[in-house]
Structure 1
């Protein structure tokens, strides 16, 4: 027989909205009222081809290639075929990365739950139609605009759209904006705007789009290329005038020499190699179930020196287990509160009926079970309580009002009516938030927290849930002790960060002592001195100093997490933030790199640059290592490319000023670029590299490229002038060019040998293979003829070798001087 009070209450509750029927959905699809905003993880194939083909420097090289096709032999246009090959490699690699990203994005795509025909069903965001009823719970992102139909303590954070930090309590009839997310409670809303009509229709697309912009690496390369472009125009004019008018060359020969001087100025392979390195990084990480939503995130992780870790879901696994229930002195009063006068005695109410301690514990278990049933979307802590204390059988407890858990509040609550008619308001949450300082119960809590256990307080409130002072004067009833499951790989990951000079900061909303104990079990340095974030200074500089000194911080609010990230950045740190809950969204958005777990909320996955689809914290070292490999190697090979740019510009200036023929044809520099830059740079760019990347890319590259290029240019020009005085008669220009080519090759090879350090067997083999390739050209008659290279006599070739050896010694001195004068 049903309880009349319960039946009356249920009659006043509105029935859940059934949603659209199948026919209604079909009608809206036919009218085009669908959420058709494309959520892409990568650029389209057409965009990839266009971005790799139609570049400024491909246009320049293409024009020069066409000029060579008109004026000279095909071998002088080899640089054009190299550009075609390099562009094709770039397109293929990025298409491979696109395929990897698209497949991973399907796995990580948000699937909101809609009601259709009265039944909830998860569908892709693109399957939503106008008027669909979409269910909401903590962590869910609002993917379209709508109007609230049902609300159970529904609090929505709209800060990503409006900048307003405080969550907004939503009631039926209130609007919901796409791009906002739920921080507490639950409910449902009807879609009023879908597709491109939604307020933030582009947010999801932009958050998960494969992008090649906003990167210090790419910005630095673009800056370098801009300067090179401006240098090319006057250099080309000067060369064509000096070769045609002053040297009185045939116009075809003058054009060939001008093209030879201009082509090596363009570090065209550097842009390609950067794209290839990023794309291969995406593919490698994709194989480890790591979705890189923005390419620069790979580079950013290489620069990270502080990683902020959320304890729950990162250091610990999502689930928990109830290990103990401790009753407190207030338990008897809590049970007997409203009925003590009727039933009398210290035991009061149910405790007296069921006999002392056991009766009180049974009652508290029933209260916990009823609290669990009152929340339709329990978090991990409440789920553990539900598993341990299921809703009591027999006459049902009624929930007349509820307050969902919020990270900002640190507690949840419910107004419950027991089967025998007693009404009481119960709170479940952080003991140090619900109780005043000095309360005797906090001593028990400290003991348990010191063991790494999580503790929740069950307390009876004397005020209603809608009262702002509901926590005032609560009567503690019991402590629920939860045991957290440590991730087996978390300790090794923390050790990796320590070895790589990356500071790990554990930032959690839990009790500081408990968080510190967990971190200490995992071996985190500094875990023995946990800090309660409520005592942190609000001023940014002071907060930054405290963060630098500490390693574990507890009782951190979502806004504080954001402030802490900002304070660390203010002190010059590059910050990565990991998290999986809605309380991490703001910090993830502001961090230099946001890392979300695949099982995390939709909101965290949307704002994070990297999503660990396998939910494994142990994947992070692979991501960091991949970032360091990319940025470290690109910095390394950029020095090769820009050394060539510097000596090319210098040679052109020296030729114009000296009024001598340009020493090289395009084929010579194509050969040198291939053997000393193109081929070795490809291998070096994909090699392992564990060095943490440092800022100021352009300065770091140019600090050695300028002196190295200057030495190479001066030494090569000196060898060329010496050869001009040594050789006379017919064929002298070819002999002079061959001597200069030998000098420049040996110097460039030495630059490669310096850049390839520290040596491994394959790096030594790479340098030797390039040297062997040049020897093959010199020793093979048809290759000699093809590249117009033939060493004449013995004196001048050995003089060229001696000049190159002197230049190599100068390069070594410059390398060491630069290292001391401009430390990395």
Structure 2
């Protein structure tokens, strides 16, 4: 299903008007017109109403989404009037000068003019996950992500001339959000579409030449059988529910980039996330310096490293707040921090090579690593500074835990959603922070470097841990894949370039609007307020939408199943079809149409088990069999007692109504005041219709029917 924001008004209108089922309904209406029984064309009023409602609702949601999409639109930094200003990528032209910073997704093909240690991930184009360092004169291609450093470049290709476009965007396409519901409904439509015409032709032949009906009655009976088989209401209901769901989530600051993501979100049972920005605020503060050598200029060196690169992150921001910039130092060479290296490197002229990063990546000294673990056990983040590979000292930083973290984790625990923390930090540090934030399972931690590389082995141990530390981008991706291979529906929340691979392969990828362009472009849903706590409302809303769709889908699928079975059985029996179109319009409108729209708008959150078709068939299949059994029994009884066609038609209509309202009552359990009022209202409409207008609906007056049966 194409995103609402990406469709023009004409595309929306035409998608609701020019459909296979609308064309089929038009043909059937034409046949009824030829028959002269005009009242049986009432179903076209329902078709038109459905189309108008669908168009109106989708256009309404489109206005909301178009307004919010501006937040996630990819921008470029173009040099004009002496400074770099953000502009839409569509405005870029060959020869423009642009700047790329850490986290950017490169929108056009460029040649590097100046570089500040830029490294790009070209995996979306080449499949190679290792970052590539670019030098002056090298080319960077659209679809690549900046994972370290920054650069100034000249645009060489735009639009259709881009390398990614030439590849027909094959390598850039992300995995679409999974939709078990859409797949199941698609299969139903496919099989019913194949069956409609041959069954309809056979039914007409039987009505005309075996049941010996008039041509007019044969046409009307055939139209009734075919109309009942068309699952048009199911398609419309699903589409409108998803569209309204996009609008609801937009009002809760979640931009849905793929409608299917709503279902994946509702069924998520494992949620993977980083520590930063979810458990913690993302801000750090320097607590202390711990010297490990006799070097006296540790603060001065850190005053160089903190300002060596134009692009910053939470760590360098904390260092800049603590250390003033060292004047006079000349940097001979520098390599920025990356999530795969876990450190940065700066060579200072006359002093030597300095590195700052995770202790495990910079030293093998057991005593030093043991001291780092002591701080990590207190929930601190530890950085090691080395000089020409000799240890200089620790920089101890602390995270700030979000005030609502415990409440958010309690919500997911109540909803039976497992939490997995995938962090690049020390696993012990993350574990301590997780426990302090209200996630007791965080005590089960592991260093991701110790996990097996083979997926089969990884699947065996993945359930033993909640916290995974020192996780590389590739390992995040492997963990997500292993969880999915174990049968879990996996959500991934991320905001950085290091999360892109995992976001791409998750059943539902969720990015923060304040995060990198690459993460926002690859995600299925973007949190516009960049607040992980809003996931409570968003998951709840997703579950409400999908539970409503599953509930009312049983109503529509019951009708499709019993209509197919009735057609086949009455073809075999050679008897007149038990309904006429006007009767199906009455049953469909009161027992299916009105209730489905009311129930689809309910706010009633439920846990959604996997198996959409199985869940729906649990109600609809027994009901359809009950309907078919009742109608066939009435037909055979009518022949045995020589009942008139009018009496038989009346009994069929009443039996059909009773079974249909039984299905409605079943899907309304547990009964609420609104649902009880709904059931009473639609049953009242049905009873009133057959009491006041029996002739219009093809049945005998009720008193005449009672007297005949008595």
Aligned residue pairs, count: 708
Distance 1:212 1:162, change over 3 A: closer
Q: Retained in 1: the 8 A contact 2:4–2:243?
A: no
The 1:452–1:207 alpha-carbon spacing in structure 2 relative to 1, beyond 3 Å, is farther
Conserved 8 A contact 1:179-1:204: no
Residue of structure 2 equivalent to 1:587: 502
Superposition TM-score, scaled by structure 1 size: 0.82
- In the other structure, the counterpart of 1:119 is 83
Matches within 5 A, 1:425-824: 425-439=353-367, 441-461=368-388, 474-723=389-638, 732-780=644-692, 783-793=693-703, 796=706
Note the residue ranges of structure 2 that are not aligned, 5 or more in a row. Answer: none
> Which piece of structure 1 moves more, 53-62 or 175-184?
53-62
Q: CA deviation at 1:525?
A: 3.5
For residue 22 of structure 2, what is the aligned residue in structure 1? 58
What residue in structure 1 maps to residue 181 of structure 2?
A: 217
Query: How many angstroms apart in 1 are the aligned matches of 2:57 and 2:102?
Result: 39
Choose from 391, 399, 412 the match for 2:325: 391
Per-residue CA distance 1:308-339 (angstroms, 9 max, x = gap)? 111112222222121222222x1x1xx3xxxx
Q: In the TM superposition, what is the alpha-carbon distance from 1:579 to its structure 2 partner?
A: 0.8
Aligned to 1:308: 272
Deviation at 1:663, TM superposition (A): 2.6
Aligned counterpart, 2:248: 284
Cα deviations by residue, 1:626-673 (Å, 9 ceiling, x for unpaired): 322233222222221121122222222333333333232210110001
Tell me, what secondary structure is at the counterpart of 2:142?
coil
1: CA distance, partners of 2:176 / 2:332: 53
Cα separation, partners in 2 of 1:61 and 1:525, compared to 1, 3 Å: farther
Are the counterparts in 2 of residues 277 and 685 from structure 1 also a CA contact under 8 Å? yes
Asked if the contact 1:236/1:262 (under 8 Å) is kept, the reply is: yes
SS of residue paired to 1:153: strand
The question of whether the paired residues in 1 share the 8 Å contact of 2:444 and 2:464 is answered with no
**Separation (CA, whole Å) in 2 of partners of 1:158 and 1:612:** 26
Question: Map of 1:202-241 to 2, 5 A cutoff?
Answer: 215-241=179-205
Aligned to 1:381: 315
How many angstroms apart in 1 are the aligned matches of 2:154 and 2:99? 9
Cα pair 2:177 2:264 within 8 Å, conserved: no
Q: Deviations over 1:790-811 (max 9, x none)?
A: 34447759979xxxxxxxxxxx
Match of 1:804 in 2: none
2:623–2:659: 8 Å Cα contact kept in structure 1? Answer: no
SS of match in other structure, 1:79: helix
Q: What is the CA distance between 1:574 and its match in structure 2?
A: 1.7
Counterpart contact for 1:791–1:797, Cα < 8 Å = no
Q: What is the rounded CA distance, in whole Å, between the counterparts of 2:707 and 2:199 in structure 1?
A: 29
* Cα pair 2:74 2:89 within 8 Å, conserved: yes
Q: Say if 1:213 and 1:164 are closer, same or farther in 2 by CA, change over 3 A.
A: closer
Counterpart CA distance in 1 for 2:384 and 2:176 is 49
C-alpha RMSD of matched pairs (Å) = 2.5
TM-score, scaled relative to structure 2: 0.95
Q: Deviations over 1:762-820 (max 9, x none)?
A: 1122212111111211332xx333323334447759979xxxxxxxxxxxxxxxxxxxx
Higher Rg: 1
Contact between 1:453 and 1:482, CA under 8 Å: does it hold in 2?
Answer: yes
- Indicate conservation of the 8 Å contact 1:735/1:792, yes or no: no
The secondary structure found in structure 2 opposite 1:285 is helix
Summarize the Cα distance change of 1:203–1:454 in structure 2 as closer, same or farther, 3 Å threshold.
Answer: farther
CA distance in 2, matches of 1:152, 1:131: 21
* SS state at 1:786 partner: coil
CA distance in 1, matches of 2:74, 2:567: 57
Matched-pair contact (CA < 8 Å) for 2:221–2:581: yes
Task: Name the residue aligned to 1:348.
Answer: none
For the 8 Å contact 1:42–1:101, the answer to whether it is kept is no
Match of 1:155, SS state, is: strand
2:306 aligns to what SS in structure 1? Answer: helix
Q: Is the 8 A contact 1:720 1:739 kept in 2?
A: no
Moved more, 787-796 or 650-659: 787-796
The answer to whether structure 1 residue 273 and structure 2 residue 207 are counterparts is no
Query: Is the Cα contact below 8 Å between 2:127 and 2:171 reproduced in 1?
Result: no
Q: Show the 5 A alignment for 1:59-74.
A: 59-74=23-38
- 1:513-567 per-residue CA deviation (whole Å, 9 max, x = no partner) reads 1100111012213211221111111121221222211100101111111111111
- The whole-number CA distance in structure 2 between the counterparts of 1:547 and 1:689 is 33
Q: 2:171, 2:124 → 1: CA distance?
A: 12
For the residue of structure 2 that corresponds to 1:377, the secondary structure is coil
Distance 1:207 1:61 in 2: 41
